[in-house]
Structure 1
Amino acid sequence: MKRWNRVAIIIAAMQLAACATGGSTLPPPKADATAPVVEAYLIGVDDQLQITVWHNPDLSVSVPVRPDGKITVPLVGDIPAGGRTTDQVGAEIQQKLAQYIRDPQVAVILTALRSHEYLSRVRVTGAVRSPISIPYRQGMTVLDAVLAAGGTTEFAAPDRTELYRHTGEGTSQAYSVRLEKILQQGDIANNYPVQPGDVITVPQRAF
């Protein structure tokens, strides 16, 4: 009973802490587990794939995705790859190889994400030294994106920076970013994680 009492006390304390930290009407943006990062990446034209067939090195190849979205695999022939995940491609190759070898084990690995840059980008606009559109990478933050744009100009109002995130059906949500605190004071409370499609806008000061 003492153990369950301790658990109940801990849960109650956590609930009180959650209530105490309330008050913000708009929660800060977080890394979206459903965002199209590399783990959920859909293969595109010109991506490079490594096909490995366990215990069958002659069937293991490194192939690019052709403009028609297909790859060519020994014994199997052409397989559609564009717009699919590596697991989906691997499953089809494995199924077709089963006609020729017993219990094939197939692994498909992306070795070069050449189409990724065109599909998943983060953009930084406004009073930065080099407005930029950069490929998204997992773990990227607002600070990473702004530094890639060369930082802010002398005319910037960094604490009025906004992070715009697409929320579906043509709408977006704006999040305020205290960029000056991040840059000048090392305060990372607003150094939010970004995701593909985000736009960071740094406005100019009002003169």
Structure 2
Amino acid sequence: MTRFWLSLLTLTLLAVGAPGARAQEADTTAMDWSAVPEYRIVPGDVLELNFGPRPEAPGQDAIRRQRVRPDGRISVFPIGDVVAAGRTPAELQATLLALLAADLRQPRVTVEVAEVAGNQVHVLGRVKKPDSYAVGPFFTLAQAIARAGGFEDDAARNSVLVFRRDGARTVRVARVALDRSLKKGSLAADLPLSRFDIVYVPRSTIGNVDVFVRQFFGETQPLLSSALVGWQLFNLDRVYVTTPITP
């Protein structure tokens, strides 16, 4: 069923375009690891919250494990529900400390991701096998294209779009001249992908990215919410912002 929706989404969005050369698997050992985006929590992750030593059990810490619910929240006593999804562990830790300070004199908590919910990227458009793919960490754009069977002959290989969620109501967008960069032997355009990123290969060069993105999500948002893992509860219809994704 997922493959059906992805194929339908691809057919809905195709424009007219030009051919280029196939992307090759990238050597991830050559990446600048400092450029890899900091991990952000998503629904399904299991978090370990350490509240420090337990008064009734010397030498033991008060540790709680919480799975992030589909609505992106966890329940923390005595605060109640707190939004975890979209935040880095450090950001969530700072938020919890600030909230706990209202009830405790010296609040203490550390946040670690004990289990990740899984890692998928969605590759759509003019590739041979558009689909959602389970991938490991530090997966790159060129690897995603290769996993999807490579470019179709009519793909706009220097106008590849990467969509990334940035919270519940914001999408960040990058337009990448991938083929041109790889032909020069440069990995500068081979973006490290984040979990649930959408890679879209159009048939023609996208002139106005802002207009295209509004059409992309405006026309297909219900389809995205139901078909693509990681894009559920995405409210682009309420607030829309585009900012570049930098390598």
TM-score, normalised to structure 1's length?
A: 0.51
1:149 aligns with 2:151: no
Aligned residue number for residue 53 of structure 2: 55
1:189 aligns with 2:186: yes
Paired with 2:145 and 2:199, the residues of 1 have a C-alpha distance of: 12
Distance 1:137 1:100, change over 3 A: same
Larger displacement relative to structure 2 (76-85 or 57-66) = 76-85
Paired with 2:142 and 2:171, the residues of 1 have a C-alpha distance of: 28
1:198 aligns with 2:205: no
Aligned residue number for residue 110 of structure 1: 113
CA RMSD between the two structures:
4.6
Count of aligned pairs between the two proteins: 157
1:144 to partner: Cα distance: 1.0
1:123 aligns with 2:123: yes
Paired with 2:131 and 2:187, the residues of 1 have a C-alpha distance of: 21
SS in 2 for 1:198: strand
SS in 2 for 1:50: strand
Q: CA deviation digits over 1:159-186, x for unaligned, max 9?
A: 963342369999874525159x77xxxx
Q: CA deviation digits over 1:64-115, x for unaligned, max 9?
A: 1234543233x42523124452334323433454567663431112233438
1:149 to partner: Cα distance: 1.6
Aligned residue number for residue 64 of structure 1: 67
Question: Which segments of 5 or more consecutive residues in structure 2 lack a partner in the other structure?
Answer: 1-30, 55-59, 164-169, 205-247
Are the counterparts in 2 of residues 164 and 173 from structure 1 also a CA contact under 8 Å?
yes
- After superposing on structure 2, the runs of 4+ consecutive aligned residues of structure 1 that deviate more than 6 Å are 167-172
Are the counterparts in 2 of residues 49 and 112 from structure 1 also a CA contact under 8 Å?
yes
1:148 to partner: Cα distance: 1.5
SS in 2 for 1:89: helix
Q: CA deviation digits over 1:131-154, x for unaligned, max 9?
A: 2234687643333112322446xx
Are the counterparts in 2 of residues 160 and 177 from structure 1 also a CA contact under 8 Å?
no
Does 1 or 2 have the higher relative contact order (CA < 8 Å, sep 6+)? 2
Paired with 1:166 and 1:145, the residues of 2 have a C-alpha distance of: 11
Q: CA deviation digits over 1:173-204, x for unaligned, max 9?
A: 4525159x77xxxx74367323434324589x
Give 1 or 2: higher helix fraction: 1
Question: Which segments of 5 or more consecutive residues in structure 1 lack a partner in the other structure?
Answer: 1-29
Larger Rg: 1
Distance 1:146 1:198, change over 3 A: closer
Out of 72, 79, 82, the position equivalent to 1:80 is 82
